[in-house]
């Protein structure tokens, strides 16, 4: 279901279309393509995101890329605490003011971190239990994977990303768009699409559609290989996705024969391609990487 025409926020503290434009004008903010800035201008949409994320009054939420605060305010309506991570100094400087003006009774539940999300290794306040974000299209996957790896306390994630990225993240083995993002996301969580978002709820309107992706944390696959070792196999398999596993993993293993040995030891057909394997199967291959030359 796509969101249709933007509507005014149903009460005074959320930001509607006119609020966003007026706030941007007052701050001298011009959204930049470089940082993938497209601000949500519809109160109904941000509340829909919060509902889809299943945020509760017990949750400590981390939000990446809060921008002018549309989603931040909707999260503060429900969550016990919200920590926003913003890379833009001007936006970061003024967001606490917006929160204090619009939701003074909840301003003490809000923290802001001025940083590139890819460099964040700790957060103020309680450990985050949920990640909710409108992620810039150009960095969505690396930011998502970094946050999941860095903050194991995150139990639930709901991100809005470019529709094609949403498809890749939620794809299952055998799907033509199944690839590196799909496998790596599945290391951390069960992943599924949670809806579509139309272009006209943003300002400026992007030239692509957006999708919601839900990730619910689950235990990592049981394996003697490290996450880094497993991800190295994944990267190698999809670097040449049209090749069979034997050929694609030759460089990783040291030779085609060594790759075939590792794949066979994992109980997998070496003539398959990477797009057919689950994260557990990639982990099994990683466990059997030859430690010496295979003749």
- 54 annotated as a binding-site residue: no
- 65 annotated as a binding-site residue: yes
What is the token pair recorded at 212?
């919601």
Count CB-CB contacts under 10 A for residue 40: 26
Q: Where are the alpha helices (DSSP H) in 103-139?
A: none
Asked if residue 179 lies in contact with residue 168, where contact means CB atoms within 8 angstroms, the answer is: yes
- Nearest Cα neighbor of 99 from 66, 52, 127 is 66
CA separation, residue 10 to residues 25, 43, 47, 79, 120 (Å):
23, 7, 10, 19, 34
CA separation, residue 44 to residues 4, 30, 65, 83, 213 (Å):
10, 24, 19, 22, 18
- 134 annotated as a binding-site residue: yes
- Binding-site residues for S-adenosyl-L-methionine sit at 38, 40, 65, 86, 116, 134
Q: Mark the binding-site residues, compressed into ranges.
A: 38, 40, 65, 86, 116, 134
């Amino acid at each position: 279901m796509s969101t249709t025409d933007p509507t005014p926020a149903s009460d005074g503290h959320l930001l509607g279309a006119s609020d966003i434009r007026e706030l941007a004008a007052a701050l001298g903010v011009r959204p930049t393509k470089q940082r993938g800035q497209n601000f949500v201008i519809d109160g109904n949409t941000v509340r829909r995101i919060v509902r889809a994320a299943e945020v509760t009054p017990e949750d400590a939420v981390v939000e990446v890329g809060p921008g002018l605060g549309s989603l931040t305010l909707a999260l503060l309506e429900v969550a016990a605490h919200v920590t926003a991570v913003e890379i833009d100094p001007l936006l970061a400087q003024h967001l606490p003011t917006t929160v204090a003006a619009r939701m003074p009774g909840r301003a003490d539940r809000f923290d802001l971190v001025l940083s590139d999300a890819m460099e964040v290794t700790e957060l103020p306040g309680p450990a985050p239990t949920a990640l909710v974000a409108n992620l810039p299209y150009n960095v969505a996957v690396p930011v998502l994977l970094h946050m999941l790896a860095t903050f194991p306390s995150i139990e639930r994630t709901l991100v809005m990303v470019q529709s094609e990225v949403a498809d890749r993240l939620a794809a299952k083995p055998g799907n033509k768009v199944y690839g590196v993002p799909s496998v790596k996301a599945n290391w951390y969580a069960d992943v599924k699409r949670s809806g579509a978002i139309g272009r006209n709820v943003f300002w400026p309107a992007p030239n692509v559609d957006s999708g919601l992706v839900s990730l619910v944390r689950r235990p990592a696959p049981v394996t003697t290989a490290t996450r880094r070792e497993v991800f190295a196999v994944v990267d190698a398999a999809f670097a040449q996705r049209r090749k069979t596993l034997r050929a694609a993993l030759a460089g990783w293993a040291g030779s085609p024969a060594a790759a075939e040995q590792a794949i066979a030891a994992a109980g997998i057909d070496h003539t398959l391609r990477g797009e057919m394997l689950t994260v557990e199967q990639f982990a099994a291959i990683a466990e059997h990487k030859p430690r010496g030359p295979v003749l």
